[in-house]
Amino acid sequence: MPDKRRTAAIIGGGVIGSGWATRFLLNGWDVRFFDPSADAERILHSVIERGREAIPALCDVVPEEGGLYIASSTVDAVEGALYIQESTPERIEVKQAVLKSTQESCDANAIIASSTSGFMPSELQEGALRPEQIIVSHPYNPVYLLPLVEVVASTAVPPEVTQRASDYLESVSMKPVVLGAEVPAHVGDRLLEALWREALWLIKDGVATTGQIDDIITHSFGLRWAQKGLFETYRVAGGQAGMKHFLEQFGPCLEWPWTKLMDVPDLDEALIDRIVEQSDEQAAGRTVMQLENERDRNMVALLKALRAEDAAAGAFLNEINRRQQAGE
């Protein structure tokens, strides 16, 4: 943990920006938050309270909370910030404008990171005052609980900037994964998009409902992925011969016409209505807030179980707790 409080600026709220603010705040950073939306502060405080409930269950030593400042503008927010996280709507012209105005006011050595789930750093850097200052730090929701963040840089960004960004992210108990190259939608969302497209076809063709698909994920390979991921799961499936045997045995399946992955179903009104109706039935009257709270409780329980086995994200949390206890 840092010897003294550092300052992070969060530009743009909503679920993601508020999650970022919570992550930094509850890990000892001072946070300067700006979002002009009328309900931005309400969402922010709601997310912070959820974080305050969840995070102590995963920490052996709960960090001292930083200070929260609600800024009146982007200029006000970035004052003194070492790290700036942009989480504005997913429109390139909006992000480019916000990033440019941010650079007009922030320290030239500050890290400016975008939460974008789709745009590449080189796209965000177009028209920027200092392209080498802008990277992507793509988190997963809820940001205050899920530790992984994809760190993506273009060729305009010096390695020192990427390393410093990773150091800042590690200081708030995140696991940065620095990608080897920029690509649209990075890595995680590309994998999720593949699953999402196939699921839409299964619903459209009447093969399965939203509830059945979610049950199949949560009661089978979703549990495997939480501890072993994709490739290690298949390595185990290969038996004593490991990955080579698995690839030799199941590789030919890639040539079979099992998937419609390369096609996209038309999201017409009929399909939208079917998905919405099935999703409403699946929710069984629970509000989004109830679903979020349920998700957080389940996630904490799963992470605690992984901590007990020193596996996957649990092993990472154990290492973070060891560092905090040692005062690092």
Average pLDDT per 10 consecutive residues for the chain, totaling 328 residues: 77 98 98 97 97 93 95 97 98 97 97 98 97 98 97 98 98 97 97 94 96 96 94 88 84 74 87 96 96 95 96 96 90
Amino acid at 270: A
* CB-neighbour burial class of residue 301 (10 A; exposed 0-12, middle 13-18, buried 19+): exposed
Query: Omega of the bond prior to 142 within 30 degrees of 0, cis?
Result: yes
User: How far, in Å, CA of 131 to CA of 121, rounded?
Assistant: 9
How far is CA 280 from each of CA 4, 158, 292, 295, rounded to the nearest angstrom?
47, 48, 15, 17
Q: What is the DSSP letter of 66?
A: -
pLDDT in tens, 22-75: 999 999 999 999 999 999 999 999 999 999 999 999 999 989 999 999 999 999
Q: What is the DSSP letter of 301?
A: H
Say which residues have a Cβ less than 8 Å from residue 224's Cβ, sequence separation at least 6.
Answer: 233
pLDDT value at residue 4: 65
Assess if CATH 1.10.940.10 describes domain 188-285. Answer: no
pLDDT value at residue 1: 40
User: How far, in Å, CA of 70 to CA of 224, rounded?
Assistant: 41
Partners of residue 152 on adjacent β-strands? 136
Angle ∠(32,320,326) on CA atoms, nearest 5? 100
pLDDT value at residue 263: 82
Count of other CB atoms within 10 angstroms of residue 171: 19
CATH superfamily of 7-178: NAD(P)-binding Rossmann-like Domain (3.40.50.720)
> What is the residue extent of each domain of the chain?
7-178, 188-285
pLDDT value at residue 290: 96
